């Protein structure tokens, strides 16, 4: 909840203040509910918690590196829970181009195939 002066009422977030380490990073402390509290209160696992952590802090800590970490966590979750590996979903530019031309421009597709076929024949000479 935002108070009149624009600062957050950090009641839920204040529980992590102090202690033996006194670690309270500003990139988490600015939120009404920091990621750690949200993750614990909702009994989320490390996999989901890591994604939340990286996405929440990316603008204030490591930028695109944190977003890439979140993406990596999501890719690992897809593989773990659904058996889908990232490599299986990647298509080459050649495959994408071929599919596009065959679907939307068959005449160009035929000319490209003919050209490639003739090029292969010349290489074989």
Q: pLDDT of 69-89, one tens digit each?
A: 999 999 999 999 988 886 655
* Cα→Cα distances 51→10, 36, 99, 124, Å: 23, 12, 34, 52
Classify burial at 89, counting beta carbons within 10 Å of its beta carbon; exposed 0-12, middle 13-18, buried 19 or more: exposed
4, two tokens: 């009149």
- pLDDT at residue 74, rounded to an integer: 94
- Percent residues over pLDDT 70 in the chain: 52
The count of residues in the chain is 125
Q: Is the dihedral of CA 25, 29, 34, 35 positive or negative?
A: negative
Q: Is the dihedral of CA 40, 38, 51, 24 positive or negative?
A: negative
Verdict on whether the full-model pTM lies above 0.85? no
> Would the pLDDT of 50 be above 80?
yes
pLDDT (average), residues 20-38: 78
């Amino acid at each position: 909840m935002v108070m009149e002066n624009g600062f957050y009422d950090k009641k839920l977030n204040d529980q992590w203040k102090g202690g033996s380490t006194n670690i309270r990073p500003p990139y988490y402390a600015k939120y009404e509910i920091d990621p750690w509290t949200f993750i614990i209160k909702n009994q989320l696992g490390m996999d989901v918690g890591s994604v939340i952590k990286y996405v929440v802090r990316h603008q204030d800590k490591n930028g695109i590196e944190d977003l890439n970490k979140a993406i990596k966590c999501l890719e690992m979750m897809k593989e773990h829970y659904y058996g889908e590996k990232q490599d299986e979903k990647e298509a080459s530019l050649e495959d994408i181009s071929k599919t596009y031309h065959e679907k939307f421009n068959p005449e160009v597709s035929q000319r490209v195939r003919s050209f490639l076929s003739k090029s292969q024949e010349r290489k074989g000479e």
